[in-house]
Chain A
């Protein structure tokens, strides 16, 4: 590194400058409003954007090394390892830039710069804290890698993440004109998603925002779980958690009923919803409000009652429609999801069990018979991938990261899925 070996003693050490950053971190929960999705953006690749970021590191190592303390020098060193290029995406909470490792420009990275948020001027944004805390612990082929963290001027946090160029699973599901896929492909993608969730749970981490647009696709076709902005460690008994997590369409009934003490089963429900969505190519339960979400679950899966879920009516926010729908039978699932076979339907039904105690765990999912039945899961390099999806990407980037584009999709979907009649 080009830093001068002579390090002058910081002359102002005894008179620290007042800085903007304070140590107090506000409660991560106090700002959560209804239907909160993780508020930080996942890195989404795109076609080059014209605008070149002005603050690109113009390698200025001479930057008064004399005034930097040891930790600031280490930070400068870390920052200089990466070249930060074009902006790939802009969100309310983070901007994502393209970048690469200076010593090996073939190693591409995505640099996620967390913006200073109005609500959290007192300290770091809670989603950034969650993302760093959990991603630095989780190293797995199906979980996005956090390569480095540094702060830039203005005390902005930068997360250096693995570059995943092939978009996300939502883009593949939605592109029903351009992308064709079959049950072997669904099995391969589900395998990768289930391994990611199993690994999180095996390391005592709840993701709490699993949905197709948080499943990014690497250059070799590997699916990677990203966006840990709502993740948390498994809670100890008697310590309450918030029920206001997971994007509504993927939120399990216990959270809709206001549960404060829950388990890995909440993520498994989301995995079941993604499974159903992969088969149907439209969101399975796309409620526009929490009440509608509950009523969709009642119609599509069955009304939660004290018979099928002992004690459920005592949950803090338990409300269901007057009309009680019986839990759907295997044969009605077979009619709706014929392509995955009876083993696939068995697995799907177990992920969508109303009572979380009876829901299958991620580990049990991987032990299920379905993986060993025909067809064998597609090899990742043979999986369908998007072609010419650039316009779609540009559209994706306009929306607030971490939130589904419900204005455009919800209505359409609600019309498409009518559980009342056909089933």
Chain B
């Protein structure tokens, strides 16, 4: 906690995705009901949270080659 620096509410841990950009909306008919039907929309189901997770999981670990990394560990 360095008093000379401005307070960082994120505690220095804010990480933005490097390989993709998360858009506000995506065309995906499967989600149309979740976006428009009252049982999801009214109590606040967030389709955007779902986009964020789907995109994260699609790209997470793309640069990770488990075989190589394990081989390096053993060396």
Q: How far is the CA of A66 from the CA of B47 in the complex (A)?
A: 54
Q: Are B44's CB and A355's CB within 8 A?
A: yes
> B23-53 vs A: 1/0 string, CB under 8 Å?
0000000110110001111111111011011
Is B10 part of the binding interface, using a Cβ–Cβ cutoff of 8 Å? yes
Q: Are B11's CB and A356's CB within 8 A?
A: no
Q: How far is the CA of A234 from the CA of B52 in the complex (A)?
A: 11
Which single member of A198, A238, A257, A366 contacts B33 (CB below 8 Å)? A238
Is B1 part of the binding interface, using a Cβ–Cβ cutoff of 8 Å? yes
Contacts of B30 in A (CB 8 A): 237
Is A314 part of the binding interface, using a Cβ–Cβ cutoff of 8 Å? yes
Q: Are B34's CB and A141's CB within 8 A?
A: no
Contacts of B39 in A (CB 8 A): 260-261
Q: Are A261's CB and B9's CB within 8 A?
A: no
Contacts of A261 in B (CB 8 A): 34, 39-40, 43, 45
Is A371 part of the binding interface, using a Cβ–Cβ cutoff of 8 Å? yes
Is A312 part of the binding interface, using a Cβ–Cβ cutoff of 8 Å? yes
Q: Are A262's CB and B42's CB within 8 A?
A: no
Residue with the greatest number of chain A CB neighbours at <10 A, chosen from B3, B33, B46: B46
Q: Are B45's CB and A263's CB within 8 A?
A: yes
Q: Are A312's CB and B42's CB within 8 A?
A: yes
Instruction: Output the least CB separation between B33 and chain A (Å).
Output: 7
Q: Are B44's CB and A262's CB within 8 A?
A: yes
Is A236 part of the binding interface, using a Cβ–Cβ cutoff of 8 Å? yes
Residues A371-400 near B (CB distance < 8 A): 371-372, 376-377, 379-381
Residues A278-322 near B (CB distance < 8 A): 309-312, 314-315
Is A194 part of the binding interface, using a Cβ–Cβ cutoff of 8 Å? yes
A204-B49, A234-B50, A237-B50 are contacts. A263–B7 as well, Cβ < 8 Å?
A: no
For A235, give the chain B residue with the smallest CB separation. B45
For A365, give the chain B residue with the smallest CB separation. B9
For A311, give the chain B residue with the smallest CB separation. B42
User: Which A residues are closer than 8 A to B by beta carbons?
Assistant: 140-142, 191, 194-195, 198-199, 201, 204, 234-238, 254, 257, 259-266, 309-312, 314-315, 355-357, 359, 366-368, 371-372, 376-377, 379-381
User: Which B residues are closer than 8 A to A by beta carbons?
Assistant: 1, 3, 6-7, 9-11, 13, 30-31, 33-34, 38-47, 49-50, 52-53, 56
